[in-house]
Every structure is written in C-alpha cells, then in structure tokens.
C-alpha cells in the first residue's frame, strides 16, 4: 500500500521553532495567522487579530515604519530585511517580510536576539512550501472562520482552478453541496473544542467529475484555548472506494449465489478442524440449523453419516487436508436429515487456501443431493426400456432427421415401402425425393422447407405417395401419413432436428377412394334420374300439345270449319314440333360432344345478316337493341354460331322482365369477333357463376315456368371452344347479366 506524507508534522516542526514574532498577512494585509509572540507584541488576543487589518491593529506611527518593508516584499516577491525602531516597545527589531502565496509572512526579532538566524528560519519556510507543493495531496490552512489562507499546487493540478480562486471561501465552490454542509457541521463541532478531526467529501475535478477525498484537520499548537489556524491534507480515495464497493458487491453476490445454490457448500479449517462457513442449503436439505455444524464440527457427520459410509468420509477429509495438489475428488455418502430420512449425497472437495508455510488451511466441500437423481435415473431407465420396446414393435416408421446435413440420424427397425432403415439412411435427399410420387413432390418439399417456422408444441402433418420397392412392371405407390414435431434446436434457437412418425395409410386411402367413387356414382345416378325426369317433362309437354292440336284439327275438319281457325292450330302444333326438335337436337349435340364426333362446317357468310335473321324470329316478343353493327363477311360455322347467339338471346328474354329491353353489343378488333348479350333481369348469385356452363346445370331447379334440359349453355361453350374462342358471364344481383363470347374470324 502506498505511504502518504503526513502534512501536520513538518508544519508543527517549522512553527514550533519560531520563537520570534511571526504572523501571516493576506493580500489585503489582514491577519491570517499569528503566533504567541506576535499576540504579545500587539498586546491583543490572537482570536481578535484574525481577519483584522494590520493597519487598524498597529499604531499608525509604527505601521508607517514597517509599511515600506511590507510593500516592497509584496511588489517584488522577494525577501526584504531591514531594521526599524519600535516607538511603543522602545526597541530595535530586525524586520523580515517574505512572499507567502498571495500574502506575506513577517518575522520580527529583537536586534540583540540570540534566536535562530532569520535566514535559516526563512529557508525552513521555503523548504516547507516546496515540500507541500510536491506531495500527492491537497494541503491547506484554514483560519477560525473556515477561510483558506494557504493552498499548495496540488489544488490547481486537481481542480483546474488557481490558488487565488480557492482562497478565502472560494474552496467551498468545488465541494459537493451535500458534503459541504456535512463538513461545515463537523467544522463547527470540532473547532469549538479545538480537537483534530477527519472528514470525507467529494471535490469537483477539472474533468468535471466529483471524486471522494479524505482529509485530516489539525489545529496548530497555541497557548490559547481556541486555535486560530488549522492545517490539513485532502487525499483522493475515489479508487479505494470503488474497489471497496466492488469488493462489497462481489461478496454480496457471492453470498447470494452460494445461498441460492442447490448443493450444500462448506469451508473447513484443517488446522483447528472447524467449519467456518456453510450455506443455507444445509438447512434446506437436511433440516438442521447451521450452528449444529459450526459447534459440532466433524462430530456432526459421525452422528449422522451412514455407518457404512463414515470411514470413507473421514478418510476423504483426511486426504483433502494432506493432498499435495489442488485436484478435486468425489465420493458418494448417505446422510440422514433431522427427520431420520436418508439422503444420497455426492461430495466433491478442493483445496481453497494454503498457509505461508505451505500447509493446507482451508478446504472447500460441495454436497450435492443426488437422491432424486437416482430415482430419476431408475425412472429414465424404465422409460428408455419402454421407448425401445415401442419403437421396435410398432409398425410405424419413427425417424429423427437432421436438417443442416439433410440426413437421417435415427430410424427404428420398421420398413417403409419395403425399404430398410440402413438403405434409407444411405440415401441422400435427392434419392429420397425420387421415391415420392411426382404430383406430390412440390407439396412435400414445401412442407419440409417451411418446417423451420414450427413451434416446439406444434405437430405438422402431410400425406403423400411413395414408390413401392418390390413392384411389377408398372410402378406401385403406397400412401403415407407423416406427423412431424421439433426434436432439437441449435444455440440460435433454429430447428436443428425433427422427429417424425410415418404410417402406411394405403388401405385407408383406397377405402376413401372407393367411398368417393361410390358417392360420385350416387350423384351420377341422381343426375341421371333428375335428367330423365326433366327430359320426360320437357318432351311430354310439346307432345301433349301436338296431340291435343291434332285432335282439335280432326274435329274442326269433320265440322267443316274455316281455314283460318284450322291454321291457328296448325301453327301451334308446328311450334311444339320445333320445340321438340330443339330438345332432341340438344340431346344429339350432347352425345356428339361426348363422343368427339361433332365437327364444324365452316363457310363464308355475312354476320350482320345472320344477326338480323335471328332477331326477326323474336319479333313481337321483346325489344332488342343492337349496338355496334358488324357488317362484314366472315368464315365460321354459321348454323352453330347462330345456335350460340340464339341460346344467349333466348335466356336473356326468359330470365328478364317483359318490359325491359335486351341489348346485343357486337365488335370486331384485330381479327376477334366479340358478341355480348345483356339483360336487366334479377342477376345470378356469384357462387353459381362457375357452374353455369356445366352439363344439366340449371340456376333454379324449382323454376318450373322456364323450360329446358340444362344443356344449352354447355353446348354453346363447346361450340365456342371448337371455334378457338373464349366465353364468360358477368352478373350483378338485381341489375342483370351479360353473356359474351369471342372468336377469331377471317374477314373478307
């Protein structure tokens, strides 16, 4: 540890050697210190002289004689020595004035004095100032009013302020406000009693930080009851305090760690065979109070260690005490607790400290309760046996897969599509992917690549097909169900490995397929029966009308009715025949499309003429508006194209109010003919739009007033596709629908 120079010793030595008149004046010529001889010389108590002006205390005539000496010393900063005659003492004196900080030190000695030579005395003062300027502490002097009358250079070096700024009461501005109040309180208490005292306070450094200092203030010896000058040093103890705080924090943290540790921790003094430390785990595990171990020592173990383990324990303590190295040693012993319950403890011991003579003094011992661990080991052994039994007997494949290396690290003995565990392990990722059914590979790879987002509790599942190893000429596929869960994560928390249970579900899938086929078959039967019912109704209606019309015609002919009356029923019968022919045509077209036997008959015709012919057939039924007339020769199947327009137009008329018009919008652009037919009907629900062009589909099955087999739009869509075109519908409930098609055409 660093030894610091004591401040008060040199001060006392110097001032105790001054037997002559000695006093110190500040820059304003006020007394800051006087010795006993000076007090007698001025015939005034020292307490009354402190802070009093030299010119007020000393008679004017006397002061005038000394003023020249004092002023020269102050201005020149040098020692000035002269003799002067004191009228009030009727005696010659050798007067010497010497620069002291910003003030003056003055010595008066009788001209015939045999005291120490003034030069030697002043030299001592110089040496003192030099010593104080180079000590590593702030040295200072205070008068009775706590005003600084002296500061060494260390003040400036530390605070960055001049000595002048620290003089008087200026020093207080660098002291922490809280510490300054406490320091002044101690000052008042101790200066009144005239006793030395010590304080701790913070001083603001030139770097702008407060650092702790410790000072020791000592009153200068005086024959008066109350000292007039105090001297002291302030030592920087910030680093010491920080080290002490760190040590206290470390000790506290160590105490918390040891007491929160699950094992019993004890420190043993091998020299006097006593335990000097034990943590709270001793009481928590064994139930005994700590003093039981402190007072009993090794006898505690002799009373509570199992007889079969006692000799081993005592031998262990002896070995640790005599061990020549710091190697650790472990043993297992049984110790009973306060309730006579035995605990299996694992004891580990190490050497903690040696004496200066090399003998082992302290040893550290850890007792870990492994009773529960032994029980867990037994249960774990049972669990491992159970897990082994399950994995070896289950028909399912159990796999642990390492994602970074894309390799299988564990497989049970089950077979996967006739592939053995070792065979699967040897395959790389690409080879295993080749076993997957082509249509399932993308889904399986996405399932695998996205598994890194899985949580620890989450189970993800996928079904896919793999190729069977032992198959005939054609590939056979088996269905698998894979359930996957996170098995291990790396230090960054990313999924490292997963465990998967893979089950053969081929039989289940085949059963599902059979069930689906059965359901489809049932639906087809239902559709067939529905179609037969609708077709029967649709065919029966015109036939019944034709039959009734013929019967009426027969009677009218027999009654010789007029030709006009006969013509009405002939027309009516003809209309029903046409309707019947249309239904039969739809059925033939449907059969032709299914068999792939329907072909287009391409010819050249005027599209505008076709459109006018179709519209004329609906004359008197509805107002039909044409927008964008296309009057050009095109090449297409005129009959089939007319069939499509007729279907769209008849639907628009059937499904919209009679008072609303139907619009036909045509356009030709870049070789594409587009036809749109718009109505103002009730519209079609969005969920039904995608089914409109399916066979036998009817938007409203219960709409009996609208006839049809549900084949019209299907046949129209097939005709458009044969022309290489596209078709569609846009509809809004309550606003109407627009059916459209677009086909490429050759324009002449």
Helix (H) or strand (E) segment spanning residue 643: helix 638-654
The pLDDT value given to residue 519:
81
The pLDDT value given to residue 114:
41
> Class of 261-375 per CATH?
alpha beta
Q: Quick count: other Cβ atoms within 10 Å of Cβ 391? A: 16
The pLDDT value given to residue 222:
56
Query: What is the distance, to the nearest Å, from the Cα of residue 503 to the centroid of all Cα atoms in its chain?
Result: 38
Give ∠ CA 736-741-747 in degrees, rounded to 5: 140
Q: Residues of 28-57 as b/e, b for ≥16 C-beta within 10 angstroms?
A: ebbbbbbbbbbbebbebebeebbebebeeb
Q: What percent of the chain shows pLDDT beyond 70? A: 76
In the numeric block, which tokens belong to residue 356? 């200066």
Closest to 462 in 3D by CA, of 519, 518, 501, 493: 501
Burial class (CB in 10 A: 0-12, 13-18, 19+), 515: exposed
pLDDT(152) > 80: yes
For residue 304, what are the contacts with CB-CB under 8 A and spacing of at least 6? 286, 335, 336
Summarize pLDDT for 21-30 with one digit per residue, the tens.
888 888 888 8
Summarize pLDDT for 647-680 with one digit per residue, the tens.
899 889 988 998 999 999 999 988 899 999 999 9
Sign of CA dihedral 520, 522, 526, 529: positive
**Mean pLDDT, residues 540-553:** 64
How far apart CA 120 and CA 109 sit, in angstroms, is: 13
SS3 string of 122-138?
HHHHHHHHHHHHHCCCE
Which segment of 7-11, 486-490, 642-646, 728-732 scores lowest on mean pLDDT? 7-11
Summarize pLDDT for 681-692 with one digit per residue, the tens.
999 988 888 888
**Mean pLDDT, residues 713-733:** 90
Q: Kindly state the DSSP code that residue 405 receives in the 8-state scheme.
A: T
In the numeric block, which tokens belong to residue 668? 């030709």
Closest to 138 in 3D by CA, of 174, 106, 103, 96: 174
Sign of CA dihedral 523, 525, 527, 530: negative
CA dihedral 22, 28, 30, 32 (to 10 degrees): -60
pLDDT(549) > 70: no
- Average model confidence (pLDDT) across the chain: 80
Which segment of 230-234, 255-259, 470-474, 558-562 scores lowest on mean pLDDT? 470-474
Q: Kindly state the DSSP code that residue 340 receives in the 8-state scheme.
A: S
Summarize pLDDT for 571-630 with one digit per residue, the tens.
666 655 655 565 555 555 555 555 455 678 888 999 999 899 888 888 888 899 999 878
Q: Are 139 and 235 in contact (CB under 8 A)?
A: no
* Phi, psi values for residue 147, rounded to 5°: -100, 135
Summarize pLDDT for 361-395 with one digit per residue, the tens.
888 888 998 887 767 767 767 766 666 666 666 77
The pLDDT value given to residue 578:
59
The SS3 assignment for 116 reads coil
Give ∠ CA 142-55-108 in degrees, rounded to 5: 70
pLDDT(155) > 50: yes
In the numeric block, which tokens belong to residue 141? 């002097």
Q: Which residue has the tokens 């993308």?
A: 442
How far apart CA 363 and CA 144 sit, in angstroms, is: 58
How far apart CA 237 and CA 2 sit, in angstroms, is: 12
How far apart CA 144 and CA 228 sit, in angstroms, is: 5
pLDDT(56) > 70: yes
Residues of the chain with CATH 3.30.565.10: 599-747
Helix (H) or strand (E) segment spanning residue 241: helix 238-260
Residues of the chain with CATH 3.30.450.20: 8-235, 261-375, 394-504
The pLDDT value given to residue 701:
52
In the numeric block, which tokens belong to residue 205? 């450094």
DSSP state letters, 671-733: TEEEEEEE--SS---GGGGGGTTSTT--S-TT-TTS---S-HHHHHHHHHHHTT-EEEEEEET
Higher local confidence (pLDDT), 548 or 333: 333
> Class of 599-747 per CATH?
alpha beta
In the numeric block, which tokens belong to residue 195? 């006793």
In the numeric block, which tokens belong to residue 94? 């050798």
Q: What percent of the chain shows pLDDT beyond 90? A: 21
How far apart CA 345 and CA 347 sit, in angstroms, is: 6
Summarize pLDDT for 77-112 with one digit per residue, the tens.
788 888 776 767 777 788 888 887 778 888 888 876
Q: Are 334 and 342 in contact (CB under 8 A)?
A: yes
Higher local confidence (pLDDT), 257 or 166: 166
What architecture (CATH level 2) is domain 394-504?
A: 2-Layer Sandwich (3.30)
Q: Which residue has the tokens 């964008």?
A: 628
* Phi, psi values for residue 370, rounded to 5°: -110, 15
Q: How confident is the model at residue 2 (pLDDT cuts 50, 70, 90)?
A: very low
How far apart CA 415 and CA 436 sit, in angstroms, is: 16
CA distances (Å), 634 to each of 628, 638, 667, in order? 16, 9, 13
Q: Kindly state the DSSP code that residue 471 receives in the 8-state scheme.
A: -
Query: What is the distance, to the nearest Å, from the Cα of residue 169 to the centroid of all Cα atoms in its chain?
Result: 55
CATH number of 8-235: 3.30.450.20
The pLDDT value given to residue 336:
94
């Amino acid at each position: 540890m660093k030894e610091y120079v004591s401040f008060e010793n040199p001060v006392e030595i110097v001032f105790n050697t001054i037997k002559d008149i000695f006093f110190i004046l500040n820059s304003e010529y006020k007394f800051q210190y006087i010795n006993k001889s000076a007090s007698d010389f001025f015939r005034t108590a020292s307490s009354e002289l402190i802070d009093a002006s030299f010119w007020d205390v000393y008679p004017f005539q006397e002061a005038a004689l000394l003023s020249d000496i004092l002023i020269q010393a102050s201005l020149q900063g040098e020692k000035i020595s002269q003799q002067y005659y004191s009228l009030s003492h009727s005696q010659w004196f050798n007067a010497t004035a010497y620069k002291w900080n910003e003030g003056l030190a003055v010595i008066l000695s009788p001209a015939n004095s045999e005291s120490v030579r003034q030069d030697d005395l002043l030299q001592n003062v110089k040496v003192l100032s030099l010593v104080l300027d180079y000590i590593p502490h702030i040295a200072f002097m205070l008068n009775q009013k706590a005003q600084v009358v002296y500061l060494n250079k260390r003040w400036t070096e530390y605070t960055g302020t001049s000595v002048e700024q620290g003089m008087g009461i200026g020093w207080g501005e660098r002291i922490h406000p809280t510490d300054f109040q406490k320091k002044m309180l101690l000052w008042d208490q101790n200066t009144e009693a005239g006793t030395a005292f010590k304080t701790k306070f913070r001083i603001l450094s030139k770097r702008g930080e407060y650092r702790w200092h410790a000072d020791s203030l000592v009153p200068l010896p005086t024959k008066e009851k109350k000292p007039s000058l105090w001297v002291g040093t302030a030592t920087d103890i910030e680093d010491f305090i920080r080290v002490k705080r760190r040590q206290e924090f470390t000790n506290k943290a160590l105490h918390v760690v040891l007491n929160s540790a699950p094992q019993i921790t004890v420190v043993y003094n091998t020299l006097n065979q006593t335990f000097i430390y034990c943590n709270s785990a001793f009481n928590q595990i064994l139930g005994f109070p700590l003093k039981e171990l402190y007072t009993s020592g090794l006898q505690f173990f002799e009373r509570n260690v199992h007889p079969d383990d006692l000799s081993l324990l005592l031998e262990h303590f002896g070995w640790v005490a005599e061990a020549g190295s710091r190697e650790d040693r472990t043993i297992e012993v049984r110790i009973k607790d306060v309730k006579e319950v035995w605990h299996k403890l694992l004891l580990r011991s190490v050497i903690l400290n040696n004496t200066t003579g090399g003998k082992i003094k302290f040893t550290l011992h850890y007792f870990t309760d492994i009773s529960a661990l032994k029980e867990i080991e037994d249960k774990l052994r049972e669990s491992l046996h159970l897990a082994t039994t399950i994995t070896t007997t289950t028909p399912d494949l159990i796999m642990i897969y390492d994602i970074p290396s894309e390799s299988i690290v564990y497989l049970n003995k089950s077979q996967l599509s006739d592939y053995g565990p070792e065979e699967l392990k040897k395959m790389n990722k690409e080879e295993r992917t080749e076993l997957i059914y082509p249509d399932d590979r993308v889904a399986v790879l996405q399932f695998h690549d996205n598994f890194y987002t899985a949580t620890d509790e989450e189970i993800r599942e996928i079904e896919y097909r793999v190729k069977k190893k032992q198959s005939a000429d054609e590939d056979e596929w088996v269905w698998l169900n894979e359930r996957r869960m996170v098995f291990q994560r790396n230090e960054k928390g990313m999924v490292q490995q997963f465990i998967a249970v893979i089950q053969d579900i081929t039989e289940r899938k085949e059963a599902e397929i059979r069930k689906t086929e059965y359901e489809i078959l049932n639906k087809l039967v239902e559709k067939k029966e529905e179609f037969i019912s609708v077709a029967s109704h649709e065919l029966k209606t015109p036939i019944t009308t034709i039959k009734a019309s013929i019967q009426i015609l027969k009677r009218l002919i027999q009654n010789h009715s007029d030709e006009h009356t006969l013509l009405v029923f002939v027309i009516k019968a003809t209309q029903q025949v046409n309707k019947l022919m249309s239904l039969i045509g739809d059925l033939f077209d449907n059969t032709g499309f299914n068999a792939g036997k329907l072909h287009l008959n391409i010819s050249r015709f005027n599209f505008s003429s076709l459109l006018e012919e179709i519209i004329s057939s609906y004359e008197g039924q509805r107002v039909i508006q044409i927008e964008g007339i296309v009057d050009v020769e095109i090449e297409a199947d005129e009959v089939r194209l007319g069939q499509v327009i007729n279907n769209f137009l008849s639907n628009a008329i059937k499904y919209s109010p009679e008072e609303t018009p139907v619009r036909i919008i045509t356009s030709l652009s870049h070789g594409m003919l587009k036809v749109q037919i718009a109505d103002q009907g009730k519209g079609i629900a969005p969920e039904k739009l995608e089914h409109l062009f399916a066979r036998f589909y009817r938007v409203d099955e219960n709409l009996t007033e609208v006839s049809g087999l549900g084949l019209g739009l299907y046949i129209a869509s097939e005709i458009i596709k044969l022309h290489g075109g596209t078709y569609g519908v846009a509809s809004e409930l309550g606003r109407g629908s627009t059916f459209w098609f677009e086909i490429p055409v050759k324009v002449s």
